[in-house]
A and B are shown apart, each in its own frame.
Chain A
């Protein structure tokens, strides 16, 4: 009898912890706020917040779904009036007071493309000027679009012998924030090379083939070619 009870208790803890773990991985759209983890809202949710606050006279701006300074101030005013912690963030308690449920239980997408791109940018060009790093990320994305290369970011990056820093394992270094920013710019459409598919460092390049490509621009130590 006692053993059974112990089992139940043990099982309860196992389940409780596994769910806690599950919850943690699911809520990966959380942002850090002074040590407290809070959820970021979707555009649609922001719009609901704005609509409600506008109806009740807290918010005067337009219902655009963007969590700007005006929305934050309105949320703070609402929290103050309703005896909630005044932080300007719509957490579970504020959401409940607003009469809405958050979508935080929904899984969100990780930024896998950004992460892979930033890793490759860092491995290949961390010593280069910022625009040179954007250009390396742009070349990877141009390859994804080109029929002559694989059609996914992972396919292009991990294509055998395509990038020396992938072959020699530097790809597994942790990218810094500059590499992330450069990768983000390229994903947002920046391409200072206007469609280049290759780059090389003329001081170290050994392939004779690469020299036959048409040079478009030189940024830092890298020659970008098509």
Chain B
């Protein structure tokens, strides 16, 4: 019994010790918790402070970017106005040409700056179009003046109209700059959420104080004639949706699935279908309403091992183009990106390669399937042409290539030049220091019209 008492005593003592320990633990725990809480509170505060500081830094950076772009634009427009007034108030073709070239550069700089301001696209489209076209128009005029040709009355009158619009633009921008001097901040007046912001309203580039922009008629960069090219090659009866579907079925005989996807009502009018080819790949096909031609096919192709080689792909592509009305065609350019092969095919006429009538085919090397086809260029340009013979012989053309080049081959081609111009040229392919170049010499006058260089990139080759 005594022993037990002793034990109990001990155990009570032990309990008390434990209790004490527990209390101590609790106190320490509480202290630690308080400490942690306190520290984290301080930490959070500091953290937020830093974050706030960072946000301020970012805001300052962005403010500087916007201000820089605004002042660049202001400078460009002021300079543009100055150069144009010099052109208009001077005579002397070479001086006018110099000021026009400078004006062109200023206009293009204005475009770059205004496009980087936080303005909604719809608000600045008109002004971007205007400065782009001013840049194109002035450089086209300068090009024409190379041989001393003076500006015509019409051209001077157009330049006057342009100058008038630029004066208005200049006035508005300078008004705005005075607001900036009084402390107006672009960044404080933009609302990221609502894109139609205060800033764009202040800078009334369109809408209310609308500036009237003149029409510029010319063949050059950014001219309307370049963007509005007419479809020349599409002929034949108009087909129905049902007939179009039959055309698809005829081309893709083993299609497991064909689904109508609606119409296209643009420069080309088409019926669109989605099918699965015999290898179960999705393809999207557009059939022209006029003539019932396959205009485009697009599909991703699959990843995997190539089962056919480039030569077989070329044969397949030429055969496919022939089935779709592109006769006497040959592969004029090929490029392989992983297992996809892109082939450009051009028809020939009396042995002359017709580059403007290009058809593009994409073949999947893993299964030899046509997964892409584009005949829009062909149907835009294909027409019967009278081909003029010239004074330049093939050996003349080869002789015009710099002597340090190694000539690979030469041939007669119809070459599409900028602004819807087509000329017969000798194309001379030549190598120099492991690079390949293509020279184009005009058959009629022997002039060098174009040089293309093959540029190798990480993804296939480019012709530039």
Binding site for B on A (CB under 8 A): 28-29, 40, 42-45, 47, 65-66, 68-70, 103, 106, 108-111, 114, 129-131, 134, 145-151, 155, 158-162, 167, 177-178, 181-182, 184-185, 188-196, 207, 209, 215-219, 226
Q: How far is the CB of B387 from chain A (nearest CB, A)?
A: 25
Contact of A103 with B434 at beta-carbon distance under 8 Å, contacts A110-B458, A129-B282, A147-B133 already known: yes
Taking the complex as formed, is B431 at the interface, i.e. its CB lies under 8 A from any CB of chain A?
yes
When distances are taken between beta carbons in the complex, the residues of chain B under 8 Å from A114 are 457, 459
Given contacts A43-B436, A106-B434, A182-B300, contact A215 B265 (CB under 8 A): yes
Q: Is A147 within 8 A of B298, CB to CB? A: no
A159 to B433, CA, bound (A): 39
Contact B408–A47 (Cβ < 8 Å): yes
Name the A residues within 8 Å of B121 (CB-CB).
149, 159, 161-162
Residues of chain A with a CB closer than 8 A to B389's CB: none
- Distance between Cα atoms of A85 and B286 in the complex (Å): 49
Whether, in the assembled complex, B415 has its beta carbon less than 8 Å from a beta carbon of chain A, the answer is: no
Residues of chain B within 8 A (CB-CB) of A66 are 310, 334
For residue B191, give the distance in angstroms from its CB to the closest CB of chain A: 11
B179 interfacial by beta-carbon distance below 8 Å: no
* Residues of B close to A162: CB separation below 8 A: 121
Nearest-neighbour CB distance to chain A for B361, whole angstroms, equals: 10
Which 3 pairs between the two chains have the least Cβ-Cβ distance?
A131-B284, A147-B222, A216-B266
Bound together, the chains give a CA A68 to CA B119 distance in angstroms of: 51
Q: Does B461 contact A (CB under 8 A)?
A: yes
- B21 on interface, CB distance cutoff 8 Å: no
Determine if B174 is an interface residue (Cβ-Cβ < 8 Å): no
Q: Which residues of chain B are near A167, meaning CB under 8 Å?
A: 192
Of B8-16, B98-106, B124-132, B246-254, the one with at least 4 CB within 8 A of chain A: B124-132
Q: Which of B25-33, B49-57, B86-94, B109-117 sits within the interface?
A: B109-117
Say yes or no: B311 contacts A69, CB within 8 Å. Answer: yes
- Are the CB atoms of B431 and A47 closer together than 8 Å? yes
> Assuming A47-B431, A147-B222, is B298 touching A131 (CB within 8 A)?
yes
Chain B residue numbers with a CB within 8 Å of A44 are 431, 434-436
Provided the pairs A131-B298, A150-B128 are in contact, do residues A184 and B459 lie with their beta carbons within 8 angstroms?
Answer: yes
Partner of A108, one of B132, B261, B458: B458
A-binding segment of B35-43, B158-166, B371-379, B391-399: B371-379
* B384-433 with Cβ < 8 A to chain A: 408, 431, 433
What 13 additional pairs, Cβ within 8 angstroms, besides A69-B309, A159-B115?
A29-B457, A108-B458, A129-B282, A134-B298, A145-B227, A149-B115, A161-B119, A185-B372, A192-B284, A193-B266, A216-B266, A217-B262, A217-B265
- Distance in Å: Cβ of B49 to nearest Cβ of chain A: 24
- A159 to B264: give the CA distance in the assembly, Å: 28
Check B296–A146 contact: CB distance below 8 A: no
The answer to the question of B301 belonging to the interface, with a C-beta cut-off of 8 Å to chain A, is: yes
User: Of A42, A131, A218, which is within 8 A of B436 by CB?
Assistant: A42
Check if A160 sits within 8 Å of B119, measured CB to CB.
Answer: yes
Give chain B nearest CB distance to A135 CB in angstroms: 9
Q: Does B18 contact A (CB under 8 A)?
A: no
- The reply on B360 being an interface residue by CB < 8 A is yes
Hey, which chain A residues are within 8 Å of B455, CB to CB?
A: 109
Minimum Cβ distance to chain A for residue B415 (Å): 17
B46 part of interface (Cβ distance < 8 Å): no
- From residue A34, how far is it (CB to closest CB) to chain B in Å? 14
Q: List 20 A-B residue pairs with CB atoms under 8 Å apart, sorted by A's residue number.
A: A28-B458, A29-B457, A42-B435, A42-B454, A43-B436, A44-B431, A66-B310, A66-B334, A68-B311, A108-B456, A145-B227, A147-B129, A148-B125, A155-B112, A161-B118, A178-B300, A181-B340, A190-B374, A195-B266, A217-B263
Closest to B455 in A: A109
The CA-CA distance from A111 to B337 in the complex, in Å, is 12
What is the CA–CA distance of A147 and B227 in the complex, to the nearest angstrom? 9
Q: B332 to chain A: closest CB distance in Å?
A: 12
Tell me whether B439 is interfacial, beta carbon within 8 Å.
no
Within 8 Å of chain A (Cβ to Cβ): is B280?
A: no
Taking a contact as CB atoms under 8 Å apart, the answer to whether A190 and B128 are in contact is: no
Chain B residue contacts of A151, Cβ below 8 A = 108, 111, 132
Residue of A108, A151, A155 with highest tally of chain B CB at under 10 A: A151
User: In the bound complex, how far is the Cα of B124 from the Cα of A148, in angstroms?
Assistant: 8
Cα A123 to Cα B219 with chains together (Å): 37
Whole-angstrom distance between the alpha carbons of A103 and B431 in the complex?
13
Closest B residue to A196 by beta carbon equals B266
Q: With A and B bound together, what is the CA distance between A102 and B462 in angstroms?
A: 20
Is there an interface contact between A148 and B128, defined as CB atoms closer than 8 Å? yes
- In the complex, whether B441 has a CB less than 8 A from a CB of chain A is no
> How distant is the Cα of A110 from the Cα of B334 in the complex, in angstroms?
19
Which of B108, B284, B340 contacts A184, CB < 8 Å?
B340
Determine whether the beta carbon of A192 is less than 8 Å from that of B296. Answer: yes
Q: Give CA–CA (A194, B436) in the complex, Å.
A: 32
Asked if B309 and A68 make an inter-chain contact with CB atoms under 8 angstroms apart, the answer reads yes
Q: Is B272 close to A, CB under 8 A?
A: yes
Q: Kindly list chain A residues whose C-beta atoms are within 8 Å of the C-beta of B115.
A: 149-150, 155, 159
A69 with B266: CB separation less than 8 A: no
CA separation between A40 and B455, bound complex, in Å?
13
Chain A residues with CB below 8 A from B300, complex form:
130, 178, 181-182
In the complex, how many angstroms separate the beta carbon of B311 from the nearest chain A beta carbon? Answer: 6
B257 contacts partner chain A, Cβ-Cβ < 8 Å? no
Contact present for B111 and A130 (CB under 8 Å): no
Chain A residues near B116 (CB-CB < 8 A):
158-160
- Any A CB within 8 A of the CB of B299: yes
Q: Does B362 belong to the interface (CB within 8 Å)?
A: yes
The reply on B143 being an interface residue by CB < 8 A is no
- How close is B291's CB to chain A, nearest CB, in angstroms? 16
User: In residues 261-295 of chain B, which contact A (Cβ within 8 Å)?
Assistant: 261-268, 272, 274, 282, 284, 286
